[in-house]
């Protein structure tokens, strides 16, 4: 995380606070997560160079840049077209755009293709993990997501163990909601 400059991912008016350990607004009712949560969720993914990761909820692109800095191959989905464009700009400015495939899509539906991923990270809260995401997780892979009601969620790591999914609670947190296009 020391190699990814957070101030490049926040609006100009928030740059003075870019390195505080708190979330910041990035527009469209969305936020950039606090650095502690970005670190916790990144570590929970058990990153290793060359693994593929699907990120749901690109926002400003910061989490995607951190994942790319870990050597992961990143596909990131953002349903708000303006934020996806901002993320592309931020990732280019920070030098990570070539390592990150930014797509405008409803992340709760996955990529809408047969692509499979070693890791999946969801950066918005859902009541349950969308089935479409679990279907794109490779056997042996893990998915990290905040799950729970709007006021407070639990970050979980789900590990795909073939015939079963193991769930591990990591930490309580508060995220913006995962909004489906259908909503």
- Residues noted as catalytic: 33
Dist CA 67 CA 1 (whole Å):
9
Inter-residue contact 49 to 43 (CB < 8 Å): no
What SS3 state is found at 111? Answer: coil
Dist CA 175 CA 125 (whole Å):
5
Inter-residue contact 59 to 87 (CB < 8 Å): yes
Residue 3 half-sphere exposure toward CB, CA atoms < 13 A: 10
């Amino acid at each position: 995380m020391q190699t990814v400059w957070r101030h490049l991912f926040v609006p100009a008016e928030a740059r003075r606070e870019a390195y505080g350990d708190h979330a910041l607004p990035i527009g469209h009712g969305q936020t950039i997560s606090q650095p502690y949560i970005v670190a916790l969720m990144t570590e929970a993914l058990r990153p290793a160079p060359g693994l593929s990761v699907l990120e749901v909820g690109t926002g400003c692109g910061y989490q995607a840049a951190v994942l790319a800095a870990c050597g992961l191959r990143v596909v990131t989905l953002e349903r708000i077209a303006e934020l996806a464009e901002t993320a592309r700009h931020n990732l280019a400015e920070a030098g990570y755009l070539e390592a990150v495939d930014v797509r405008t899509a409803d992340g709760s539906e996955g990529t809408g293709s047969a692509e499979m991923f070693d890791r999946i990270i969801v950066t918005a809260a859902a009541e349950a993990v969308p089935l479409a995401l679990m279907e794109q997780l490779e056997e042996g892979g893990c998915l990290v997501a905040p799950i729970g009601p709007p006021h407070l969620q639990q970050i979980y790591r789900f590990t795909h163990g073939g015939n079963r999914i193991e769930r591990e609670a990591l930490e309580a947190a508060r995220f913006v909601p995962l909004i489906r296009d259908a909503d």
